[in-house]
Structure 1
Amino acid sequence: MIDLGYALSRRFPDPPQTDYRQADVRALRHDLFCGDVYIAEGERELSTAWGWVPVLDFAWALCDIVERLDQDPMGSRASRPQRAELDFTQSTERLRFTRRFGWVEITADWAEDESALTVPHAELRREARDFLHDVVADLADMHDGVSDNPVIWNLMARFPRV
Protein backbone atom coordinates (compact mmCIF):
# COMPACT_ATOMS: atom_id res chain seq x y z
CA MET A 1 0.00 0.00 0.00
CA ILE A 2 1.26 3.46 -0.95
CA ASP A 3 1.25 6.23 1.62
CA LEU A 4 1.77 9.84 0.56
CA GLY A 5 2.12 12.56 3.15
CA TYR A 6 3.45 16.00 3.97
CA ALA A 7 4.26 18.41 6.76
CA LEU A 8 4.22 22.16 6.29
CA SER A 9 7.29 24.07 7.44
CA ARG A 10 7.25 26.66 10.19
CA ARG A 11 10.57 28.02 8.91
CA PHE A 12 9.08 29.05 5.55
CA PRO A 13 5.61 30.45 6.30
CA ASP A 14 3.46 31.97 3.58
CA PRO A 15 3.51 35.79 3.51
CA PRO A 16 0.72 37.05 5.81
CA GLN A 17 -0.68 39.43 3.16
CA THR A 18 -1.28 36.60 0.65
CA ASP A 19 -4.65 36.71 -1.09
CA TYR A 20 -5.19 33.03 -1.80
CA ARG A 21 -8.25 33.75 -3.97
CA GLN A 22 -6.07 35.66 -6.46
CA ALA A 23 -2.80 33.70 -6.22
CA ASP A 24 -1.51 32.79 -9.67
CA VAL A 25 -0.17 29.42 -10.83
CA ARG A 26 3.44 30.40 -10.12
CA ALA A 27 2.70 31.42 -6.54
CA LEU A 28 0.60 28.34 -5.87
CA ARG A 29 3.17 25.96 -7.35
CA HIS A 30 6.43 27.51 -6.20
CA ASP A 31 6.05 30.20 -3.55
CA LEU A 32 3.39 28.97 -1.11
CA PHE A 33 2.77 25.98 1.17
CA CYS A 34 6.38 24.87 1.70
CA GLY A 35 7.33 21.85 3.77
CA ASP A 36 8.39 18.24 3.36
CA VAL A 37 6.83 15.30 1.56
CA TYR A 38 7.16 11.54 1.58
CA ILE A 39 6.18 8.48 -0.41
CA ALA A 40 6.09 5.21 1.51
CA GLU A 41 5.34 1.65 0.52
CA GLY A 42 5.29 -0.84 3.35
CA GLU A 43 8.32 -0.24 5.58
CA ARG A 44 10.26 1.71 2.93
CA GLU A 45 10.04 5.47 2.54
CA LEU A 46 11.44 8.22 0.35
CA SER A 47 11.16 11.54 2.14
CA THR A 48 12.55 15.03 1.99
CA ALA A 49 13.91 16.82 5.05
CA TRP A 50 14.60 20.22 3.57
CA GLY A 51 11.55 22.18 4.72
CA TRP A 52 11.18 24.15 1.48
CA VAL A 53 9.43 21.70 -0.89
CA PRO A 54 6.26 23.32 -2.32
CA VAL A 55 3.71 20.74 -1.16
CA LEU A 56 0.91 21.67 -3.57
CA ASP A 57 3.37 21.62 -6.47
CA PHE A 58 4.57 18.16 -5.42
CA ALA A 59 1.00 16.80 -5.39
CA TRP A 60 0.22 18.49 -8.72
CA ALA A 61 3.44 17.26 -10.37
CA LEU A 62 2.91 13.73 -9.08
CA CYS A 63 -0.53 13.61 -10.74
CA ASP A 64 1.01 14.91 -13.99
CA ILE A 65 3.74 12.26 -13.85
CA VAL A 66 1.32 9.40 -13.28
CA GLU A 67 -0.60 10.49 -16.37
CA ARG A 68 2.60 10.85 -18.41
CA LEU A 69 3.57 7.29 -17.48
CA ASP A 70 0.31 6.10 -19.00
CA GLN A 71 0.74 7.54 -22.50
CA ASP A 72 1.83 4.31 -24.19
CA PRO A 73 -1.20 2.92 -26.09
CA MET A 74 -0.31 -0.56 -24.80
CA GLY A 75 -0.92 0.62 -21.23
CA SER A 76 -0.03 -2.02 -18.65
CA ARG A 77 0.95 -4.44 -21.45
CA ALA A 78 3.75 -2.16 -22.68
CA SER A 79 7.15 -3.77 -22.18
CA ARG A 80 9.10 -0.65 -23.16
CA PRO A 81 9.95 1.36 -20.03
CA GLN A 82 8.19 4.70 -19.68
CA ARG A 83 10.11 7.26 -17.64
CA ALA A 84 9.42 10.57 -15.91
CA GLU A 85 11.21 12.74 -13.37
CA LEU A 86 10.07 15.10 -10.66
CA ASP A 87 12.67 17.84 -10.35
CA PHE A 88 12.93 19.73 -7.07
CA THR A 89 13.56 23.21 -8.43
CA GLN A 90 15.56 24.58 -5.51
CA SER A 91 18.17 21.79 -5.73
CA THR A 92 19.56 19.19 -8.11
CA GLU A 93 17.60 16.37 -6.46
CA ARG A 94 15.02 14.39 -8.42
CA LEU A 95 12.52 11.60 -7.98
CA ARG A 96 12.65 9.20 -10.91
CA PHE A 97 9.72 7.09 -12.06
CA THR A 98 10.01 4.11 -14.41
CA ARG A 99 6.93 2.18 -15.50
CA ARG A 100 7.22 -1.33 -16.85
CA PHE A 101 4.02 -3.20 -17.51
CA GLY A 102 1.66 -2.22 -14.65
CA TRP A 103 4.41 -1.41 -12.13
CA VAL A 104 6.21 1.84 -11.32
CA GLU A 105 9.66 1.97 -9.74
CA ILE A 106 10.36 5.16 -7.77
CA THR A 107 13.90 6.17 -6.86
CA ALA A 108 15.36 9.33 -5.33
CA ASP A 109 18.70 10.93 -6.14
CA TRP A 110 19.30 11.69 -2.46
CA ALA A 111 18.65 8.06 -1.44
CA GLU A 112 20.79 6.17 -3.94
CA ASP A 113 21.58 3.48 -1.33
CA GLU A 114 17.90 2.65 -0.99
CA SER A 115 16.19 0.14 -3.25
CA ALA A 116 13.42 1.44 -5.49
CA LEU A 117 9.86 1.58 -4.25
CA THR A 118 7.83 -0.60 -6.61
CA VAL A 119 4.11 0.10 -6.72
CA PRO A 120 1.20 -0.71 -9.04
CA HIS A 121 0.53 2.13 -11.51
CA ALA A 122 -3.23 2.08 -10.90
CA GLU A 123 -2.70 2.37 -7.15
CA LEU A 124 -0.21 5.21 -7.62
CA ARG A 125 -2.76 7.07 -9.78
CA ARG A 126 -5.48 6.66 -7.16
CA GLU A 127 -3.23 7.62 -4.24
CA ALA A 128 -1.71 10.62 -6.07
CA ARG A 129 -5.14 12.04 -6.80
CA ASP A 130 -6.39 11.36 -3.28
CA PHE A 131 -3.26 13.06 -1.94
CA LEU A 132 -3.86 16.11 -4.15
CA HIS A 133 -7.46 16.41 -2.99
CA ASP A 134 -6.47 15.95 0.65
CA VAL A 135 -3.72 18.60 0.38
CA VAL A 136 -6.12 21.09 -1.20
CA ALA A 137 -8.78 20.36 1.45
CA ASP A 138 -6.23 20.87 4.24
CA LEU A 139 -4.95 24.10 2.69
CA ALA A 140 -8.52 25.36 2.25
CA ASP A 141 -9.16 24.68 5.96
CA MET A 142 -6.01 26.59 6.94
CA HIS A 143 -6.25 29.54 4.52
CA ASP A 144 -9.36 31.46 3.53
CA GLY A 145 -9.73 31.77 -0.22
CA VAL A 146 -7.80 28.71 -1.38
CA SER A 147 -10.97 26.89 -2.39
CA ASP A 148 -12.21 30.02 -4.20
CA ASN A 149 -9.17 30.24 -6.48
CA PRO A 150 -9.99 29.44 -10.15
CA VAL A 151 -6.58 27.75 -10.59
CA ILE A 152 -7.53 25.31 -7.82
CA TRP A 153 -10.93 24.69 -9.43
CA ASN A 154 -9.26 23.79 -12.73
CA LEU A 155 -6.71 21.59 -10.97
CA MET A 156 -9.37 19.65 -9.10
CA ALA A 157 -11.43 19.21 -12.28
CA ARG A 158 -8.37 18.00 -14.19
CA PHE A 159 -7.50 15.35 -11.58
CA PRO A 160 -10.74 14.08 -10.01
CA ARG A 161 -10.59 11.34 -7.40
CA VAL A 162 -10.50 7.88 -8.96
Structure 2
Amino acid sequence: MGRPTFAAARASALLGSALTLALVTGCGGGGEPPGASAGGTRADPGPPATLKQLAARTGCARPQVQTDAEELRQGVCKTGEGQYTVTTFSTDKGRDEWLAEAKKWGGAYLVGTRWVIAGNDPGMLRLFSEKVGGTVMSGGHEMPSGAEHGPAAPVGAGAPPG
Protein backbone atom coordinates (compact mmCIF):
# COMPACT_ATOMS: atom_id res chain seq x y z
CA MET A 1 0.00 0.00 0.00
CA GLY A 2 1.29 3.51 -0.81
CA ARG A 3 1.59 6.55 1.37
CA PRO A 4 -1.61 8.31 2.48
CA THR A 5 -3.01 11.03 0.23
CA PHE A 6 -2.51 14.66 1.23
CA ALA A 7 -6.16 15.05 2.28
CA ALA A 8 -6.13 11.86 4.35
CA ALA A 9 -2.77 12.68 5.94
CA ARG A 10 -3.85 16.24 6.72
CA ALA A 11 -7.16 15.13 8.23
CA SER A 12 -5.42 12.45 10.29
CA ALA A 13 -2.77 14.86 11.53
CA LEU A 14 -5.30 17.57 12.38
CA LEU A 15 -7.45 15.12 14.30
CA GLY A 16 -4.41 13.69 16.08
CA SER A 17 -3.18 17.19 16.92
CA ALA A 18 -6.57 18.30 18.14
CA LEU A 19 -6.96 15.27 20.39
CA THR A 20 -3.40 15.46 21.69
CA LEU A 21 -3.60 19.20 22.24
CA ALA A 22 -6.97 18.89 23.96
CA LEU A 23 -5.51 16.29 26.33
CA VAL A 24 -2.36 18.32 26.95
CA THR A 25 -4.10 21.67 27.35
CA GLY A 26 -7.44 20.65 28.75
CA CYS A 27 -8.83 22.83 25.92
CA GLY A 28 -7.10 25.76 27.60
CA GLY A 29 -5.49 28.70 25.92
CA GLY A 30 -2.22 28.35 27.80
CA GLY A 31 -2.86 30.77 30.67
CA GLU A 32 -1.81 34.00 28.98
CA PRO A 33 -4.11 36.98 29.44
CA PRO A 34 -6.26 37.87 26.41
CA GLY A 35 -4.34 39.98 23.93
CA ALA A 36 -0.95 38.96 25.34
CA SER A 37 -0.23 36.85 22.30
CA ALA A 38 -1.19 39.40 19.65
CA GLY A 39 2.42 40.11 18.70
CA GLY A 40 3.85 36.72 19.65
CA THR A 41 7.38 36.24 20.92
CA ARG A 42 9.85 36.42 18.05
CA ALA A 43 13.22 34.80 17.53
CA ASP A 44 15.07 34.15 14.29
CA PRO A 45 13.10 31.63 12.21
CA GLY A 46 14.61 28.20 12.49
CA PRO A 47 15.91 26.39 9.41
CA PRO A 48 13.95 23.44 8.04
CA ALA A 49 14.56 20.50 10.34
CA THR A 50 13.34 16.93 10.64
CA LEU A 51 10.95 15.76 13.33
CA LYS A 52 13.78 13.77 14.90
CA GLN A 53 16.16 16.78 14.91
CA LEU A 54 13.57 19.10 16.47
CA ALA A 55 12.63 16.49 19.07
CA ALA A 56 16.28 15.91 19.99
CA ARG A 57 16.97 19.65 20.32
CA THR A 58 14.03 19.95 22.73
CA GLY A 59 15.19 17.03 24.87
CA CYS A 60 12.94 14.33 23.40
CA ALA A 61 15.01 11.28 22.49
CA ARG A 62 12.12 9.19 21.11
CA PRO A 63 9.09 11.02 19.73
CA GLN A 64 6.03 8.79 19.36
CA VAL A 65 5.29 9.20 15.65
CA GLN A 66 1.54 9.53 15.00
CA THR A 67 1.55 10.55 11.33
CA ASP A 68 4.16 9.70 8.72
CA ALA A 69 3.07 11.03 5.33
CA GLU A 70 4.84 12.73 2.46
CA GLU A 71 3.27 16.10 3.32
CA LEU A 72 3.83 15.98 7.08
CA ARG A 73 5.24 13.99 9.98
CA GLN A 74 3.96 14.33 13.52
CA GLY A 75 5.14 12.94 16.84
CA VAL A 76 4.35 13.39 20.53
CA CYS A 77 7.12 14.12 23.03
CA LYS A 78 7.09 13.85 26.82
CA THR A 79 10.05 15.38 28.65
CA GLY A 80 10.72 17.08 31.96
CA GLU A 81 9.56 20.31 30.30
CA GLY A 82 6.11 18.84 29.54
CA GLN A 83 4.19 17.12 26.76
CA TYR A 84 4.12 18.59 23.27
CA THR A 85 3.63 17.71 19.61
CA VAL A 86 6.28 18.19 16.92
CA THR A 87 5.00 18.44 13.33
CA THR A 88 7.12 18.92 10.21
CA PHE A 89 5.77 19.81 6.76
CA SER A 90 6.94 19.51 3.18
CA THR A 91 6.00 23.19 2.54
CA ASP A 92 5.35 26.38 4.53
CA LYS A 93 1.95 26.60 2.82
CA GLY A 94 1.04 23.20 4.27
CA ARG A 95 2.27 24.37 7.69
CA ASP A 96 0.17 27.54 7.46
CA GLU A 97 -2.99 25.65 6.47
CA TRP A 98 -2.47 23.15 9.29
CA LEU A 99 -1.78 25.93 11.81
CA ALA A 100 -4.92 27.88 10.82
CA GLU A 101 -7.01 24.81 11.67
CA ALA A 102 -5.06 23.76 14.77
CA LYS A 103 -5.16 27.22 16.39
CA LYS A 104 -8.94 26.94 16.67
CA TRP A 105 -8.35 24.37 19.43
CA GLY A 106 -6.32 26.76 21.59
CA GLY A 107 -2.90 26.02 23.02
CA ALA A 108 0.47 27.53 22.17
CA TYR A 109 2.60 27.06 19.07
CA LEU A 110 6.27 27.51 18.24
CA VAL A 111 6.40 28.07 14.48
CA GLY A 112 9.49 27.73 12.29
CA THR A 113 10.36 27.02 8.69
CA ARG A 114 8.20 24.03 7.70
CA TRP A 115 7.59 22.95 11.32
CA VAL A 116 5.39 23.59 14.38
CA ILE A 117 5.82 22.54 18.01
CA ALA A 118 2.46 22.64 19.84
CA GLY A 119 1.93 22.56 23.60
CA ASN A 120 0.07 24.07 26.51
CA ASP A 121 2.86 26.19 28.00
CA PRO A 122 4.07 29.28 26.10
CA GLY A 123 6.98 29.49 28.58
CA MET A 124 8.15 26.01 27.58
CA LEU A 125 7.92 26.99 23.91
CA ARG A 126 9.92 30.19 24.55
CA LEU A 127 12.68 28.01 26.05
CA PHE A 128 12.52 25.76 23.00
CA SER A 129 12.75 28.79 20.69
CA GLU A 130 16.20 29.48 22.14
CA LYS A 131 17.24 26.00 20.96
CA VAL A 132 15.42 25.72 17.61
CA GLY A 133 14.38 29.29 16.66
CA GLY A 134 10.86 30.11 15.55
CA THR A 135 8.01 32.32 16.77
CA VAL A 136 5.74 31.59 19.76
CA MET A 137 2.00 32.07 19.05
CA SER A 138 -1.17 31.30 20.98
CA GLY A 139 -4.31 29.81 19.50
CA GLY A 140 -7.89 30.86 20.16
CA HIS A 141 -10.58 28.51 21.34
CA GLU A 142 -14.06 28.91 19.95
CA MET A 143 -17.21 27.67 21.61
CA PRO A 144 -19.62 25.70 19.37
CA SER A 145 -21.66 28.89 18.90
CA GLY A 146 -18.56 30.61 17.53
CA ALA A 147 -18.25 32.93 20.54
CA GLU A 148 -14.73 32.98 21.92
CA HIS A 149 -13.94 32.59 25.60
CA GLY A 150 -10.91 33.50 27.65
CA PRO A 151 -8.13 31.13 28.74
CA ALA A 152 -9.15 28.16 30.82
CA ALA A 153 -7.76 27.37 34.23
CA PRO A 154 -4.38 25.60 34.23
CA VAL A 155 -4.54 21.83 33.78
CA GLY A 156 -5.29 20.19 37.12
CA ALA A 157 -6.84 23.32 38.65
CA GLY A 158 -10.31 21.76 38.68
CA ALA A 159 -13.43 22.82 36.86
CA PRO A 160 -14.79 26.33 37.38
CA PRO A 161 -18.11 26.54 39.26
CA GLY A 162 -20.94 26.13 36.79
- Regarding TM over 0.5, the answer is no
- Structure number with greater CO (CA < 8 Å, separation at least 6) is 2
Structure with greater proportional helix content: 1
TM-score (norm 1): 0.26
